[in-house]
């Protein structure tokens, strides 16, 4: 059957469709998917053994049966994964849980005010002191002051059950759904550690290949410690994938310049290792030599995956290059598309939640874009000079990768890098040196202090040059088009358009070109409709923010953020999603201090502000304690003392998060019926 010439090129996208159907649309029980899978598989088996024969005129029925089987497999895998996560985490909801044993897996990762310890609950202890062994992934957060040498991979801690907290879903419209993000990693609980609620179990240790990999990473990190902070952070991220020491300025510079992929250990880094080993090893003459070469290549790839801590991005790249290494060295037909899709299929079968991982999407999109377009783009120009030709090859690869990930870059990051070809001319050759140099520095650290210092000096110098170049390009006003917002539908249409153009480039089919033209027309119409719709929209939200008051108003294409925080950036992750949902980018959101409302007069398309009152949809919202005007229908209170002085709360009051519950407030009439944003989430009024 033609279907099986390159089966995984077709089966992998179908498997992804099944996962998407189960996640977004078909809320069917796992038993239903099992029945569908069993039925379609049975028919295919009977057709294969010729027990039943599908006539030639309806051979398309076989394709439908195969597609249905794979779709039901994808849906079944996702449902099974969901049941696993729910079953495991339900053990932590037990009211009789007294304490639990926590096993740290990863190196502590630095956050804004605390350290994150990634690991799992290895045992739970109930009120009767009965222990039960389990394996439930969680993240423990530790204050800066409590981090010490005990918090290392493989160590175990006894933690009070009171430290556990379920991850809350988003409390504001458009806010990043951290609970769903962590659920897809199998985590629904976190633990907040204090000096009096956890104890290091010194007599207990946990060993596994993953923990050994983390310990090796610690030794590599120690070898880079003498370097200056900025260069050390970049080296740790590039060589080992340890990004906790990167500051926001460095991340932003690399993102704006289009070089952020260098700091995320993935296919580029594994590809460099593969090319280096493949170039060094010339063993191809006999079967034994080819076998030795395959073993060395595979061992080298997975050793690098091991020392980087076995992150999913490196594991999938190592899997893909392993297939390529085997295929190219056994003199068998080796289709790169097929190898890429086999690795994707295997990864999705292992964990269907990888499909929703941004890194997974970017990685495979970039690889497919490069192998599809790079040969054609590289032929556009040719230079007799080897260096110039090599530079053009790098630019060609960068162009192909950037075009392939364009829908994801715009949708997830809201920007389009413009100077990435120039940046990649610097960072890609430098990445090869920095990757090799990192291991040279590590080996030199065992030889002696003098050799270690001699190895560090040129290594740090080159990274410093690269950083200076990236910062210069990234801080340029023309480095990227920023604050670009598109809807999921627009991003989907753009992705489909790029896929159709890729197919057209490969098979040169006129029908595919017609479909691409229709898709392009739909893409343009969608953008036009959203632009018109944004201009006549209105919405208002009283946000659920920590210890502050914040109100958002969408007025056509302009947004207004009225708040009492020290700065808008402090609450941006809770508020900007509301504006983004309505097509308003960050640079079109005007900031207004609540304290200035009493002296402010403003009139928009759908609202007005005067004397400390906001009028929206013929309703008045009081937000200032000095306002004496009568309230109508709904009330917003942002000052504790104002609420304390009221004999009773108005019927439809909205209490912002900066008003804490107290006995005096609890006793006030209508308090129970008030909308408390801290507990109930944002109060939203849509058009």
Residue 366 and residue 165: Cα distance in Å, rounded?
38
* 336-391 residue pLDDT tens: 788 888 888 998 999 999 999 888 888 888 888 888 888 888 888 888 888 888 88
Residue 264 is predicted with a pLDDT of: 80
Residue 319 is predicted with a pLDDT of: 85
* 154-198 residue pLDDT tens: 999 999 999 999 999 999 998 999 999 999 888 999 999 988 888
Residue 12 is predicted with a pLDDT of: 92
Residue 628 is predicted with a pLDDT of: 46
Half-sphere exposure of 637 (CA within 13 A, CB side): 25
Sequence-separated (6 or more) residues with CB below 8 Å from residue 592: 560, 561, 562, 563, 600
Residue 675 is predicted with a pLDDT of: 82
Residue 263 and residue 255: Cα distance in Å, rounded?
10
Residue 283 is predicted with a pLDDT of: 61
Residue 634 is predicted with a pLDDT of: 61
Asked whether the predicted pLDDT for residue 279 surpasses 90, the reply is no
Residue 639 and residue 625: Cα distance in Å, rounded?
7
Half-sphere exposure of 14 (CA within 13 A, CB side): 17
Asked whether the predicted pLDDT for residue 146 surpasses 80, the reply is yes
Helix, strand, coil tally for the chain in percent (to 5): 55, 15, 30
Residue 2 is predicted with a pLDDT of: 43
Asked if 132 contacts 195 with a C-beta cutoff of 8 angstroms, the reply is: no
What is the pLDDT confidence band of residue 153, given thresholds at 50, 70 and 90? very high
* 541-590 residue pLDDT tens: 888 887 788 889 998 889 999 888 777 777 888 888 899 888 888 888 88
Q: Taking the C-alpha atoms of 65, 66, 71 and 75 in order, what is their torsion angle to the nearest 10 degrees?
A: 90
Burial 401-438 (b: 16+ CB within 10 A, else e): bbbbbbbbbbbebbbebbbbbbbbbbbbebbbebbebb
Calculate mean pLDDT across residues 599-603: 84
* 649-666 residue pLDDT tens: 777 778 777 776 666 666
Evaluated on CA atoms 132, 134, 139, 145, the torsion sign reads positive
Asked whether the predicted pLDDT for residue 4 surpasses 60, the reply is no
Residue 105 is predicted with a pLDDT of: 92
* 607-624 residue pLDDT tens: 888 877 888 877 777 775
Calculate mean pLDDT across residues 120-136: 88
Residue 445 and residue 441: Cα distance in Å, rounded?
6
Q: Which residue has the tokens 């590039």?
A: 238
Residue 1 is predicted with a pLDDT of: 38
Helix or strand holding residue 653 (H, E): strand 653-655
Which of 58-62, 63-67, 354-358, 477-481 has the weakest average pLDDT?
58-62
Burial 197-227 (b: 16+ CB within 10 A, else e): bbeeeeeeebeeebbebbebbeebbebbeeb
Q: Which residue has the tokens 């969408």?
A: 554
The larger pLDDT score, comparing residue 453 to residue 547, is at 453
The larger pLDDT score, comparing residue 236 to residue 507, is at 236
Asked if 389 contacts 383 with a C-beta cutoff of 8 angstroms, the reply is: yes
Q: Percent of the chain, pLDDT > 90? A: 17
What is the pLDDT confidence band of residue 55, given thresholds at 50, 70 and 90? low
Structure tokens at 392: 């053009």
Residue 123 is predicted with a pLDDT of: 92
Q: Percent of the chain, pLDDT > 70? A: 91
How far the first Cα of the chain sits from its last, in Å, is: 55
State the average pLDDT for the chain.
Answer: 83
CA angle 336, 337, 343 (to 5 degrees): 90
Residue 219 and residue 212: Cα distance in Å, rounded?
11
């Amino acid at each position: 059957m033609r279907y099986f010439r390159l089966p995984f090129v077709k089966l992998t996208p179908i498997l992804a469709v099944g996962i998407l159907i189960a996640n977004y649309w078909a809320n069917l029980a796992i038993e239903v998917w099992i029945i569908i899978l069993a039925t379609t598989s049975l028919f295919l088996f009977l057709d294969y053994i010729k027990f039943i024969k599908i006539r030639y005129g309806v051979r398309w029925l076989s394709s439908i049966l195969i597609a249905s089987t794979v779709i039901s497999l994808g849906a079944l895998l996702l449902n099974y994964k969901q049941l696993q996560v729910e079953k495991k985490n339900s053990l932590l909801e037990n009211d009789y849980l007294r304490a639990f044993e926590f096993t740290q897996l990863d190196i502590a990762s630095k956050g804004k005010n605390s350290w994150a310890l990634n690991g799992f609950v290895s045992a739970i202890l109930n009120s009767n002191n009965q222990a039960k062994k389990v394996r439930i992934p969680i993240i423990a957060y530790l204050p800066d002051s409590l981090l010490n040498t005990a918090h290392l991979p493989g160590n175990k801690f006894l933690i009070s059950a009171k430290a556990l907290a379920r991850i809350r879903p988003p409390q504001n419209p458009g806010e990043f759904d951290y609970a769903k993000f962590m659920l897809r990693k199998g985590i629904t609980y976190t633990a907040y550690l204090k000096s009096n609620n956890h104890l290091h179990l010194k007599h207990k240790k946990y060993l596994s290949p993953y923990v050994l990999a983390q310990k090796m990473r610690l030794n590599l990190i120690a070898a880079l410690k003498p370097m200056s902070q900025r260069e050390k952070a970049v080296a740790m991220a590039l060589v080992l994938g340890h990004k906790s020491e990167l500051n926001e300025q460095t991340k932003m510079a690399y993102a704006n310049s289009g070089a952020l992929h260098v700091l995320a250990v993935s296919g580029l880094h594994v590809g460099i290792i593969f090319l280096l080993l493949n170039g060094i090893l010339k063993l191809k003459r006999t079967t034994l030599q080819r076998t030795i070469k395959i073993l060395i290549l595979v061992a080298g790839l997975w050793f690098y995956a091991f020392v980087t801590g076995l992150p999913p991005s490196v594991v999938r790249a190592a899997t893909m290059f392993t297939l390529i290494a085997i295929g190219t060295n056994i003199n068998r037909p080796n289709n790169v598309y097929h190898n890429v899709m086999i690795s994707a299929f295997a990864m999705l079968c292992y964990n269907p939640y990888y499909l929703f991982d941004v890194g997974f999407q970017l990685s495979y999109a970039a690889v497919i874009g490069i192998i599809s377009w790079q040969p054609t783009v590289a032929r556009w120009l040719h230079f007799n000079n080897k260096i110039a030709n090599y530079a053009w090859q790098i630019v060609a690869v960068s162009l192909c990768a950037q075009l392939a990930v364009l829908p994801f870059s715009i949708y997830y990051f809201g920007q389009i890098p413009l100077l990435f070809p120039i940046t990649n001319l610097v960072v890609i050759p430098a990445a090869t040196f920095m990757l090799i140099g990192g291991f040279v520095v590590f080996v030199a650290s065992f030889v002696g202090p003098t050799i270690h210092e001699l190895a560090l000096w040129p290594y740090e110098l080159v990274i410093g040059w690269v950083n200076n170049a990236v910062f210069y390009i990234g801080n340029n006003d023309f480095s990227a088009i920023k604050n670009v917002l598109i809807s999921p539908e627009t991003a989907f249409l753009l992705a489909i358009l790029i896929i159709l153009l890729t197919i057209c480039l490969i098979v040169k089919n006129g029908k595919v070109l017609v479909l691409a033209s229709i898709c392009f027309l739909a893409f343009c119409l969608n953008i036009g409709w959203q632009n018109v719709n944004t201009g006549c929209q209105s919405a208002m939200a009283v946000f659920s923010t920590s210890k502050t008051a914040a109100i958002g108003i969408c007025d056509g294409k302009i947004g207004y953020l009225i708040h009492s925080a020290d700065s808008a950036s402090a609450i941006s992750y809770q508020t900007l999603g509301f504006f983004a949902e309505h097509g308003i980018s960050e640079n079109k959101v005007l900031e207004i201090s609540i304290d200035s409302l009493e002296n402010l007069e403003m009139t928009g398309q759908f609202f007005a502000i005067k004397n400390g009152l906001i009028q929206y949809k013929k309703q008045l919202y009081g937000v200032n304690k000095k306002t004496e005007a009568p309230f109508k229908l709904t009330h917003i209170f942002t000052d504790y003392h104002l609420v304390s002085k009221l004999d009773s709360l108005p019927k439809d009051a909205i209490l912002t998060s900066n008003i804490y519950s107290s006995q005096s407030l609890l006793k006030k009439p209508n308090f129970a019926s008030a909308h408390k944003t801290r507990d109930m989430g944002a109060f939203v009024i849509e058009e």
